Structure 1
Amino acid sequence: MTHAGRLTSVDSPIKVFWVADAAHGTPGRLGLTFAPGKKAYGSDEGVYWDRDLRQDMERLREAHGADLLVSLLEDFEYEDLGIPDLFTVAEACGVRTEHFPIQDTRVPRAGQEGEVDRLIATVRSALAAGETVVIHCMGGHGRTGTVAALTLASYGLSAEEAIRCVRVAQPKALENELQTDYVAGAGRRWASAGTWAQR
């Protein structure tokens, strides 16, 4: 592994991909990122993520203004990525956390609709309060993009428009048809039930 192939918190500060504020119409901000502090080989050949969790978390808080970090990793992934103390470090840096584990490349399980609605309600509440919400999974694409699009769909955007707005921010967001279909299904369910009748 050459030095050029290592992505560290110093050489490659953690980025946040911001969804346009107009897409949700709140005083808050909604962003997507990868797992802070992760240590893992990347999808590109020769790339190794060798990051520092505290440096990434401090940057999320101080440079990006993160108030709430929504973490979508499964429990074993924190160990695999070398960040078992993510929640403790986030709290120490002044960032609240919300954990909603989703299997990589997948979507919330059948029967989790109520839990999904509670997650989206938490995100909406933070945005309405003018807070900055950052969502992450491992790479910041599939699971992260799905939850970001679900958030936009809760404000009345069609699934297609919600996904488009998220992909404007992060072109790699939502990795497969399973994820795009899930956003569409949730949108139909919410519209039928009037779940988010008040924007």
Structure 2
Amino acid sequence: MDVDVFVGLDVNMVDTSMQLPWEHGTAFKYPIKNYGVPGSKKNFDHLLKFLSDSILSGMDVFVGCIGGHGRTGLVLAALVNHMTGEVDAIRYVRENYCIKAVDNQKQEHWLHRHYGIKLPEAKKPKYQGSILDRQW
């Protein structure tokens, strides 16, 4: 992967050669449990500052977990909010990255509680029909 900064959000992600001090770039793991949220807001704030500083200095940055939805979406939504002040950052990430980003209410509420990010509108269940709709 040709990036300047690689951040793996899963403890089981494969190490890259970028972790070797003589290789170009920076690679590290910032583990967040699957379907979970960061354990320390203070450390997460440091991650956001590091990522935004890297992006603003022109570096190519990769952030990812195993599926690329929940934890990745959480980091991206927080980063969008951090860099732009966008309060509807979950919607922004879902529209511009992946509709499945930030994949559970625990993550949505964590972003709202710590960064004031707007909660997405509740999804209405699709109408599945009823027995009365059947043709007899």
TM-score normalised to structure 1 length = 0.52
Cα displacement (A) at 1:91: 4.0
Q: Deviations over 1:108-146 (max 9, x none)?
A: 12xx11101110110011011011111111111110110
User: Could you tell me which of 103, 106, 119 is aligned with 2:47?
Assistant: 119
Point out the structure with max Rg over C-alpha: 2
Cα displacement (A) at 1:152: 0.9
Is the Cα contact below 8 Å between 2:76 and 2:93 reproduced in 1? yes
User: Could you tell me which of 63, 68, 80 is aligned with 2:5?
Assistant: 68
Cα displacement (A) at 1:96: 1.4
Is the Cα contact below 8 Å between 1:67 and 1:131 reproduced in 2? yes
1:157 is matched with: 86
| Structure 1 runs of 4+ with >6 Å offset | none
Is the Cα contact below 8 Å between 2:77 and 2:93 reproduced in 1? yes
Matched, 1:133 2:61: yes
Is the Cα contact below 8 Å between 2:69 and 2:103 reproduced in 1? yes
1:107 is matched with: 37
Q: Deviations over 1:134-192 (max 9, x none)?
A: 1111111110110011101113110xx21112112112211101111111122139xxx
Could you tell me how far apart the structure 1 residues matched to 2:81 and 2:109 are?
12
| CA RMSD of superposed structures (Å) | 1.9
Equivalent residues in 2 for 1:1-199, closer than 5 Å: 60-61=1-2, 66-74=3-11, 77-78=12-13, 83=14, 86-87=15-16, 89-91=17-19, 94-109=24-39, 112-155=40-83, 156-158=85-87, 161-168=88-95, 169-188=97-116
Give secondary structure in 2 for the equivalent of 1:154: helix
- 1:163 partner letter: I
- 1:98 partner letter: F
Cα displacement (A) at 1:97: 1.4
Cα displacement (A) at 1:90: 3.1
- Higher relative contact order structure (alpha carbons within 8 Å, sequence separation ≥ 6): 1
Q: Which structure has more strand as a fraction of its residues?
A: 1
Could you tell me how far apart the structure 2 residues matched to 1:131 and 1:170 are?
22
Aligned residue-pair number: 113
TM-score normalised to structure 2 length = 0.75
Identical columns (%): 27
Could you tell me how far apart the structure 1 residues matched to 2:92 and 2:25 are?
25
Structure 1: which 5+ residue stretches go unaligned?
A: 1-59, 190-199
